[in-house]
Amino acid sequence: MFKNPLITMTPKEAKRYDVMCKLIAKKIDGTEAAKSLNLSVRQVKRIKAKVKKKKIKGVIHGNRGKPSNRQTDKKTITEARKQLKKIYHDFNPLLAQEKLLEIHKIVLSKETVRQLMIAEKLWIPRKKGVVKKFFWRERKDNYGEMQQFDGSYHNWFEGRNEKELGTEQCLLVAVDDANGTITGAQFETNEGVDAVFRFWREYLKARGLPISIYLDRFSTYKVNHKNAVDNKELMTQFERAMRQLDIRVIHAGTPQAKGRVEKMNGTLQRRLVKELRLAKINTITEANTFLKETFIPKFNKQFQVVAKKPNDLHRDLTDKQRNNLDKIFSIQTERRVNNDYTVRFKNNYFQLNKIQPTTVCKKDRVIIEEHLDGEIKIACGNKYLTFVKLPERPKKVIDVKLIALTKQAPSEWKPPENHPWRKEFLINKKQPVKMAIN
C-alpha cells in the first residue's frame, strides 16, 4: 500500500510544478518563469507561495474532488430517473427533457437527461463516423413561394386501433420551404387522389394559393408511363387540378431533393407518435383535431426559422375559384353520349333527361365528375346535365328518333290540312294572269 495518496495531474499542472521547482531552486528568476508559463509575475509569485506551503498540491485547483455548488439536487435526479424509466424510456433526450419540464416541472439540461438515459441504458449514443458531404439547396426567399409536400406511411397509433386503422396510416404533410413551418398536416388511410384532394382543398381555403408545390413522382402526382415523355398532355388528376388553379407542380428526382419535408417526416415519426400516446389519441378524427389545434402551433413556434424576406406570396382565391373548388377537386373522366342518350361509367348507366340546360346530341363528349362527398355529376361544357341512374343495363337499340336533347321538350302538335303551311303556292299556268295597268 502507498503511504501517500496518489495525485493525478494534468500536463499543464505538471509543467507549472516543474517551473516552480526551478524557481524555488533559483535556477530561473520570476520573469523567466512568467514567460515560460505565459502568466504575469504577480501570478507566478502567488503560485510559488502555494507550492512552498502545500508542495505539489499548490499547483492543483482547489475545487478538484469537491462537489459542485451548482450540482442538481439528488431528489430531482432520482425523480427524473423514475419518470424516464416509467414513461419516457423510448423518447430521445431532447423530447424527454421537454416533457420532464412541461409535465413534471423537472428542470434539467438536455445533456444531463442524455447522460441519465445512457446510464440507464435507455439511449445508445451514436458512433462517430465519416460525415457525408451534402449541400442543401438554398431556401426560397418568401413564405408561400414553395410548399414541399409528401405522404408518410407509419404506425402512428402504435397498433392501439389496429382493427379499424390497420398497421400503418398515412400522414400528409406540407412544409414551407422559406421558414420550415408545417403549413398543413392531415391523417389519411392512404396517399390516393381523394385524400390528397381533401388535403389541398382545406389548405387553399385556409391559406390561399402557393406559387409552387414540390413533391415526388408517386402515381398520384405524375404519369410515369414511358409515353408521357413524348406526350406532355398526359396528366394526373392532381396535375389537372393544379393547372386549373395556376399552381406550378415540380417533381423531385430523388428523396434528397425535397429533403426538408423528408427530414420533417422523420422528426414527426419520433415526436408525434409519442405526443399521440401521451394524449391517449387512437382515431384519425381525434388526431387531426390534435394536429390542428395543439401540435402544429406549438411545433412551429419552437422550430420555425426566419425567412429571408417577410412577404407572404400566397394568392387569394377568386370568387369563381372558391365556388368551383368542389368541381376542381373532383375526379374527372371523359365519356361519350350513346345513341339512346345514356352515359356508361364504371358499369353504371345514367339516362339523360329529355330537357337539358344545354343542347346535347348523340356522340357528344361529356365529363363525369366524382366529387369528394360521393356525388356524381355529368357536365357538358359549363352546364351540368340532369339524369337518372338506371337500375340495370338498358336494352340495346339501334337509334332513337329524338334528334337532340334541348332546353324545351319537342311539341307533338301537327298543323291541320287547311293550314297555310300545307297549301300549295303554285300558280295555274292555264289561267291567264290579269295585271292592272295604270
Among the ranges given (83-97, 138-152, 419-433), the one the predictor scored with the smallest mean pLDDT: 419-433
Question: Is the predicted pLDDT of residue 380 greater than 70, yes or no?
Answer: yes
On whether both 254 and 168 belong to a single domain, the answer is yes
On whether both 375 and 407 belong to a single domain, the answer is yes
Assess if residue 309 is contained within a domain: no
For residue 428, how many C-alpha atoms fall within 13 Å in the half-sphere facing its CB? Answer: 4
Rounded CA-CA distance 63/61 in Å is 6
Write out pLDDT tens, residues 409-421: 767 777 777 777 7
On whether both 191 and 99 belong to a single domain, the answer is no
On whether both 54 and 82 belong to a single domain, the answer is no
Prediction pTM value: 0.78
On whether both 153 and 277 belong to a single domain, the answer is yes
Pairing of strands 365-370, 376-380: antiparallel
Q: Report the pLDDT averaged over residues 54-63.
A: 83
**Per-residue DSSP letter, 327:** H
93-104 and 110-119 are packed helices; what angle lies between their axes, rounded to 10 degrees? 110
Residue 293, domain extent: 147-303
On whether both 371 and 242 belong to a single domain, the answer is no
On whether both 55 and 78 belong to a single domain, the answer is no
In the block, which residue shows the cell 406570396? 313
Assess if residue 197 is contained within a domain: yes
Assess if residue 410 is contained within a domain: yes
Rounded CA-CA distance 147/177 in Å is 6
On whether both 346 and 433 belong to a single domain, the answer is yes
Q: How many CB atoms lie within 10 A of CB 345?
A: 15
Rounded CA-CA distance 194/375 in Å is 13
On whether both 269 and 217 belong to a single domain, the answer is yes
pLDDT at 437: 52
In the block, which residue shows the cell 374527372? 332
pLDDT at 132: 67
Among the ranges given (194-198, 279-283, 400-404), the one the predictor scored with the smallest mean pLDDT: 400-404
Are 350 and 378 in contact, with CB atoms under 8 Å apart? Answer: yes
What total of structural domains would you count in the chain?
4
Listing DSSP states for 200-268 in one string gives HHHHHHHH-B-SEEEE---TTT---SGGGGT-TT---HHHHHHHHTT-EEEE-SSGGGGHHHHHHHHHH
30-37 and 11-24 are packed helices; what angle lies between their axes, rounded to 10 degrees? 170
What does the buried/exposed string (b/e) look like for 295-309 if buried means 16 or more CB atoms within 10 Å of the residue's CB? bbeebeeeeeeebee
Assess if residue 53 is contained within a domain: yes
On whether both 87 and 233 belong to a single domain, the answer is no
Residue 295 belongs to a domain with what CATH number? 3.30.420.10
pLDDT at 436: 53
pLDDT at 218: 87
- 353 three-state secondary structure: coil
On whether both 157 and 291 belong to a single domain, the answer is yes
Assess if residue 141 is contained within a domain: no
Q: Report the pLDDT averaged over residues 293-304.
A: 95
Assess if residue 427 is contained within a domain: yes
Assess if residue 113 is contained within a domain: yes
On whether both 29 and 81 belong to a single domain, the answer is no
